[in-house]
Amino acid sequence: MLNKQGYHLAVLGATGAVGKQIIKTLEKRNFPISQLTLLSSARSAGTKVNFKGESITVQEAVPDSFEGVDIALFSAGGSWSQKFAPDAVKRGAIVVDNTSAFRMNPEVPLVVPEVNEDKLHDHKGIIANPNCSTIQMVATLEPIQKAFGLKKVIVSTYQAVSGAGSAAIQELKDQANAILNNQEYTPSILPVGSEDKHYQIAFNVIPQIDVFTENGFTFEEMKMINETKKIMGMPELKVAATCVRLPVETGHSESVYVELDQEDVTVEDLRKVLIDAPGITLQDQPEEQIYPMPAMAVGKDDVFVGRIRQDLDEKSGFHMWIVSDNLLKGAALNTIQIAESLIKLGLVSN
């Protein structure tokens, strides 16, 4: 049942991998909704979606789709955010955007509520949701930074295909089937859908996510570097990233090395800080072979951290392994948590 006292929400990209998770998560968290407008391109317009026992018809997005909308959750791709965000804001909606279109705009807060919820007060109509790989890393780094100070971060990611959308999930399944059945398969999506060159992802690992930039890092790697500094409010923090695609359907993993300001920190000190951190579940019992894995993180809200160990040469250096559901905390859930924070802080009216 929709709630008359709730908010009019719109979801742009409602039929995509992220959009579907947004709809599920809104229902699961009983988000106060008086009206739900579901938007896609003309391709999926007319699709019926069940929400809280009601059938909602997906509509083709046009500027007037945002008339009367209080909060608009965008996940249709950057160019569509650029096109529709001004239309939505002009009509009085607050846009929470899941794309990279506005993330580095100094006028736009880039928010992970556990880290920098207070930045929502500065919004001018658009709030950006960070990249999935950034979110799970900063949720872990923030309590460490607060307790011990951070000097340097080096991350290598192991990213699931669902991060590249519904078509990439299908490609992994079709390709794995074809290879197991000795059939031909021509890759067409990964590493980057819009590029000419594509590689096999089933039974393979691709060290490229998004396009290359001039400095040799990919755009995905630059997003992690720049977004981490912005969210943590640490422009001087040293960050390097290598982003890699794996044949896993959902759940991003990260091997993260940090160097702390404080010299005398132990593994136990880090565990104590993380065990109390919001949105983090510590899974770190090597003697019992307990550590995070993507298959176990799917469908869960938290960021899972384990394999914490001190570097053998650098006393203030620590290694850890961070896993989260990239479609939930990495995208849909964080977007909805931002909307919940806006309500909690009295920053949105209905």
By beta-carbon proximity to ligand 3JN, the closer residue of 143 and 251 is 251
Choice from 21, 159, 253, 324 touching ligand 3JN (CB under 6 A): 159
DSSP 8-state code for residue 69: -
132 a catalytic residue: yes
Q: Report if residue 247 touches ligand 3JN, rule: CB under 6 A.
A: no
Classified as helix, coil or strand, 9 is strand
The C-alpha atoms of residue 110 and residue 214 are separated, in whole angstroms, by 24
Contacts of 85 (CB under 8 A, 6+ apart): 74, 95, 97, 101, 102, 125, 126
Interface residue with ligand NAP among 80, 148, 217, 321 (CB under 6 A) is 80
First CA to last CA distance, the chain: 18
- The reply on whether position 316 binds ligand NAP by CB under 6 A is no
From the centroid of its chain, how far is CA 339?
15
Of 261, 273, 220, 259, the C-alpha closest to 242 is 220
Among 76, 85, 202, 239, the residue binding ligand NAP under the rule CB under 6 A is 76
CB of residue 41 to ligand NAP, shortest distance in Å = 3
Task: Read off the tokens for 194.
Answer: 């819009």
Q: Considering 8, 123, 243, 252, which one is annotated as catalytic? A: 252
Torsional sign, CA 275, 249, 216, 104:
negative
| Beta carbon nearer to ligand NAP, 1 or 42 | 42
Q: Determine whether 252 is an active site residue.
A: yes
CB of 344 to ligand 3JN, least distance (A): 25
Find the binder of ligand NAP among 25, 37, 131, 145 (CB under 6 A): 131
CA distance 40 to 101: 18
Choose, by CB under 6 A, the member of 29, 32, 35, 41 that binds ligand NAP: 41
Gap between the Cα atoms of 152 and 237, Å rounded: 6
The reply on whether position 209 binds ligand 3JN by CB under 6 A is yes
Total number of residues that touch ligand 3JN (CB under 6 A): 11
Catalytic residue chosen out of the listed positions 8, 132, 198, 243:
132
- Specify which residues 157 forms β-bridges with: 243, 254
Which helix (H) or strand (E) segment holds residue 94: the answer is: strand 94-97
Beta carbon of residue 166, minimum distance to ligand NAP (angstroms, whole number): 4
| Partner whose footprint covers residue 43, from ligand 3JN, ligand NAP, none (CB < 5 to 8 Å by kind) | ligand NAP
Helix axes 219-231, 132-148, angle to 10 degrees: 40
**Binding test (CB under 6 A) with ligand 3JN, winner from 12, 71, 150, 164:** 164
Q: Which amino acid is at 260?
A: L
Q: Which stretch binds ligand 3JN (CB under 6 A): 2-10, 158-166, 300-308, 332-340?
A: 158-166
Q: What are phi and psi of 194, to 5 degrees?
A: -85, -5
- Judged by CB under 6 A, the chain residues 180 through 219 that form the site for ligand NAP are none
- Write the Ramachandran bin of 339: left for phi over 0, alpha for psi from -120 to 50, otherwise beta: alpha
Question: Which positions touch ligand NAP (CB under 6 A)?
Answer: 12-19, 39-41, 43-44, 61, 75-78, 80, 98-99, 129, 131-132, 163, 165-167, 330-331
Q: Given the rule CB under 6 A, which residues bind ligand 3JN?
A: 78, 99-100, 131-132, 159, 163-164, 209, 223, 326
Active-site positions?
A: 132, 252
